[in-house]
A and B are shown apart, each in its own frame.
Chain A
Amino acid sequence: MQPTDIRNPQYFHKVVDCQWACPAHTRVPEYIRLIAAGRFDDAYLLNWDSNVFPGILGRTCDRPCEPACRRGRVEESNGEKPEPVAICRLKRVAADNRSEGIEARMRARLPERIPGAERFHIACVGAGPASLTVARDLAPLGYRVTIFETDARSGGFMRTQVPRFRLPEHVIDEEVGYILDLGVELVGNHPIDSMRALLDRNFDAVFVGCGAPRGRDLHIPGREEAKAKIHVGIEWLASVYFGHVTKVGRRVLVLGGGTTAMDCCRSARRLGGDDVKVIVRSGYGEMKASPWEKEDAEHEGVEILNWLNPKAFVHENGRLTGMWFTPMRAEQSGGGRKLLPTGEPDRFFECDEVLIAVGQENAFPWIERDLGIEFDEWGMPKLDKLTMQSTHPRVFFGGDAAFGPKNIIWAVEHGHQAAISIHNLLQHEDIRKRPPPLTNLVSQKMGIHEWSYDNDISPDQRYAVPWAPKEKTLKNIRQEVELGFDLPTAWKEAQRCLNCDVQTVFTRDLCIECDACVDVCPMDCITFTVNGDEAELRTRLTAPARNPEQDLYVSEPVKTGRVMVKDEDVCLHCGLCAERCPTGAWDMRRFLFVESYAGRGEEYSALPLKKKVAA
């Protein structure tokens, strides 16, 4: 193998699994350390810079960071149940414990206004997380940003579809408020029904962040006749939010296996449904809902049934009485997988009401097709994935409107990237030019056995977030279920973090090949051996490197001609290799990778926070 080039910042970035997996590349280990140190404001601000909605995401994020978390892998075959660090819920700890006057510190972090920026006016369609992020990034630079929203209030899907027992409204109000207070104009109750009309108003740029507002329907026999008790999930959730729906039948079937299905079934349990079943076409493991969402639903007495394909609604003179389902199985065919009937007899389930949550669709009936905004064969806008720019140079897309339904954290990242593009466009820069990330690699050595981070590895298993009692939560749809970690538990959970951003850095010229690092490494990560090609090398290390997703760190040849090979997969970042190294060939260095945002170019610094004004 070629020696690893650690000067490429993406090498160590990838080692920080959580940050690498996060669409917005939030510096997770850093904020977890800040939480452990009791610096909740700093932890909150670090999150706010990167993901804009720490309080909202600390409750509702899809948390791509957690399945990626190294802690889950190192606990494998080490305890009862390997679990990642509760990254998402620690984020909520930062939000719950931030101080009152944090807005002043937020403002201090913002970049300087750009002279003349107020001449430019940017329109955002829809007041969801993508548009709000564009506004957060551009308004401080001095641009005028106006957000048009169909509803009276901002927040989009976060407000109208995510149920209040998962996300209290005051959290939305606060975090959306921070953005609107930056001088962003929100025009509520103002649906945009013509892109042509919008463009005619001479906005300098238009950002479309209107989400994927149409819930997919299920056109099977009986749908029309029994329609009074059959609802499309996301519309029903919005009706619950607006108070149009306050109760539901006793027996409810929810069709679909995603997050919306979970929100539907749990809402139904709170509105009078005492026999609620989620019925899914495919298997339990491949449901789109996250494992914890399924657990939460089952904890509340919802039954999940798999491998059943909806066949027909049954009604008596228009009154829904039940549904037929066909048992299914999966079959591998070619590269893909097909669902086929098993041939077993169809199954019937009685019910009083059905909620359809089988997916969402994008709909752009309001965008005229002759404006130069091209759409593909699936009706989605053609976009540059880097810049979020459409084929119309002044029109940008982000969030679910860009590539179909994703999640809040992806919407935020789209917003950041679109804001950079709009800024470049208005400043006559190359639109594809991205401001470079801030990177840094600094030794954390404080003394012979002292590091600036806590390198003692906690043996604890993951801590569960306490819940409000079920008797209480099932009676009141506005009662938040999760109560958040208390501070002693938050500290213990934070200690489970392995500090993967503190990197093991090897200096070949200092190594005397004493084997001390190999001997002390608790995870058998380090090997000195003759070089070979990667696949073969992976088999003959101290412990086999079985995870091809994780890189091998390979040195230049040492004196005996061998190479040092370190498997990054299950390294604890405990620093014992560096403590045992007599020559300092191993060192623990904190790797900083800070994404850059609109208007924060080369001079952008993550820590002193205010761009220096040239004298």
Chain B
Amino acid sequence: MTYLAKPKLHHPSLQRNGVGFTRRDYEGAVSTLCAGCGHDSISAAIIQACWELDIEPHRVAKLSGIGCSSKTPTYFLSASHGFNTVHGRMPSVLTGANLANRELLYLGISGDGDSASIGIGQFVHAIRRGVDMVYLVENNGVYGLTKGQFSATADQGSKSKKGAVNTDAPVDMVGMALQLGASFVARGFSGDKTQLVPLLKAAMTHKGAAFLDVISPCVAFNNHPGSTKSYDYVREHNHALNRMDFIPARAGITVDYPEGEVREVRQHDGSMLRLRKLPSGHDTGDRVAAMSYLHECQARGEIVTGLLYVDPEAPDLHAHLETVDAPFNTLGERELCPGSATLAKINASLR
């Protein structure tokens, strides 16, 4: 952290995007997290992704719970809507907001404490309902704000900064998200923005519940030998499934790859995910394969990163509930309160 605000001066070549903003316009207040925190890198990746996607900041709602990770929405997109909920209650507030106005982009920012412990029930149900959102877990395996106790995602056998060994089995949020029916599941690493930014862009343009687990080392309490969430450990054990290029809907497709090397996924909004397969040969369209591949890698002690699974055509919560297209705030009194005759009709249909 720093006491100084970042100077407003910027590089002379700083570009404006399609909606007239520079990357600096997507920044927030100066971070008060510890120096070197992986979460700050994730904030920078979100800023980069939103700028590259030409997102208008006022069309974004960022929601979070409690914890280091949940503080970060202050540090990006200062011109967006924000909601800091009670601990672990971000998913239900997000679900409600999404039901009221489906036209915003929902960023649910959470951490391993907020989502894998106190909020695990909320996490589970928001994912299985298919809420159209980006659910991002900034996963560092410790409770940073309370000085580094193991969190529920800490690996069994990993060591705390003081040397204590974790005896509990970890909650695997990626595995849970796959099992619960998330239609976009990926894992990133805060120390690799070339991978993280395209994953974020794909998740933001995905329609449906997009779950993104980002391993984000806690420099203060979980970046030592014996930790499995340190910069060094993650770099040594990183198993990248694929390299992804995100091609926006408006861009023409210019490069041809030999068949078999590239798999393209056309998303709901017309954008294209071009996956350059690394030797794994993993098929991102197969949920069962994704789950078993994840577990195989886990058994080998590898950390899988990249896009594990995507279903570009999955229906979301609005489709399940057959809700009205227009946001509530654009509806008039007549639509919102259709009168006692309509109520009587509904009641009659339920008898």
Contact = CB atoms under 8 A, between A and B. Distances in A.
A583 B232 CA distance: 14
A455 B14 contact: no
Interface in B271-327: none
Contacts of B12: 73-74, 76-78, 570
Contacts of A560: 235
A515 interface: yes
A564 B7 CA distance: 23
Given A75-B9, A78-B12, A515 B41 contact: yes
B40 A522 contact: no
Contacts of A559: 232, 235
Interface stretch (B29-37, B206-214, B337-345): B29-37
Contacts of B219: 512, 514, 582
Interface in A494-540: 512-516, 518-520, 522-525
A522 B38 contact: no
A193 interface: no
Interface in B128-185: none
B10 interface: yes
Contact of A512 (B6, B10, B223): B223
Interface stretch (A4-12, A15-23, A371-379, A572-580): A572-580
B44 interface: yes
A163 to B, nearest CB: 38
B217 interface: yes
Contacts of B190: 514-515
B13 interface: yes
Interface of A: 73-78, 449, 455-457, 459, 512-516, 518-520, 522-525, 543-544, 546, 559-560, 570, 572, 574, 576, 579-583
Interface string B325-351: 000000000000000000000000000
Contacts of B254: none
A546 B13 CA distance: 9
Interface in B31-88: 34-38, 40-41, 43-44
Contact of B7 (A73, A77, A457, A544): A457
B2 A580 contact: yes
Interface string B207-232: 00000000001011001000000011
A74 to B, nearest CB: 6
Contacts of B41: 514-516, 519
B7 A516 contact: no
Most buried by A among B12, B43, B219, B223: B12
Given A514-B41, A514-B191, A560-B235, A580 B7 contact: no
Contact of B2 (A75, A449, A524): A449
Contacts of A457: 7, 9
Leading 3 A-B pairs by shortest Cβ distance: A582-B36, A519-B44, A457-B7
A523 B11 contact: yes
B321 to A, nearest CB: 40
B36 A580 contact: yes
Nearest to A457: B7
A583 B4 CA distance: 19
A512 B36 contact: yes
A537 to B, nearest CB: 16
B7 A459 contact: yes
B28 to A, nearest CB: 12
A512 to B, nearest CB: 5
Nearest to B217: A514
B11 A515 contact: no
A66 B60 CA distance: 45
A579 B4 contact: yes
B250 interface: no
B263 interface: no
25 contacts: A73-B12, A74-B12, A449-B1, A449-B3, A456-B4, A513-B191, A514-B36, A514-B38, A515-B191, A516-B36, A516-B37, A519-B43, A522-B7, A524-B10, A524-B11, A543-B14, A559-B235, A570-B12, A574-B4, A576-B4, A579-B2, A579-B35, A581-B36, A582-B37, A583-B36
Nearest to B193: A515
A522 B6 contact: yes
A563 to B, nearest CB: 16
Nearest to B230: A512
B283 to A, nearest CB: 29
Contacts of A78: 8-10, 12
Given A524-B14, A582-B35, 17 more contacts: A449-B4, A455-B4, A459-B8, A512-B36, A512-B219, A514-B41, A514-B231, A516-B36, A516-B37, A518-B44, A520-B2, A522-B9, A522-B24, A523-B9, A559-B232, A559-B235, A580-B35
**B contact face: mostly helix, strand, loop, or mixed:** loop
Contacts of A581: 35-36
Contacts of A574: 4, 7
Nearest to B236: A559
A154 to B, nearest CB: 46
Given A512-B231, A514-B231, A74 B35 contact: no
A402 to B, nearest CB: 38
Most buried by A among B36, B190, B231: B36
A399 B133 CA distance: 73
A572 B6 contact: no
Nearest to B194: A529
B187 to A, nearest CB: 18
A572 B9 contact: yes
Contact of A513 (B1, B13, B34, B231): B231
A519 B38 CA distance: 11
Contact of A459 (B9, B24, B191, B217): B9
Nearest to B24: A522
A77 B235 CA distance: 39
A582 B6 contact: no
B323 to A, nearest CB: 39
A166 B61 CA distance: 61
Nearest to A583: B36
Nearest to A584: B35
Nearest to A512: B231
A388 B58 CA distance: 67
A523 B10 contact: yes
A182 to B, nearest CB: 45
Contacts of A524: 10-11, 14
Contacts of B40: 516, 519-520, 580
A75 B7 CA distance: 12
Contacts of B4: 449, 455-456, 574, 576, 579
Given A514-B36, A560-B235, A522 B10 contact: yes
Contacts of A456: 4
A522 B44 CA distance: 12
B7 to A, nearest CB: 4
Contacts of B35: 516, 579-582
Contacts of B3: 449
A471 to B, nearest CB: 40
A570 B36 contact: no
B6 to A, nearest CB: 5
B20 to A, nearest CB: 15
A350 to B, nearest CB: 47
A252 B190 CA distance: 71
A330 to B, nearest CB: 29
Nearest to A516: B36
Nearest to A574: B7
Contacts of A77: 12-14
B96 to A, nearest CB: 32
Contact of A74 (B9, B44, B217, B232): B9
A365 B40 CA distance: 73
Contact of A572 (B2, B7, B217, B223): B7
User: Which of A77, A456, A522, A583 gathers the greatest number of chain B CB atoms within 10 Å?
Assistant: A522
Nearest to B5: A456
Q: Taking each of A74, A77, A515, A544, which has the highest tally of chain B beta carbons within 10 Å of its own beta carbon?
A: A515
A461 to B, nearest CB: 12
A543 B13 contact: yes
A84 to B, nearest CB: 14
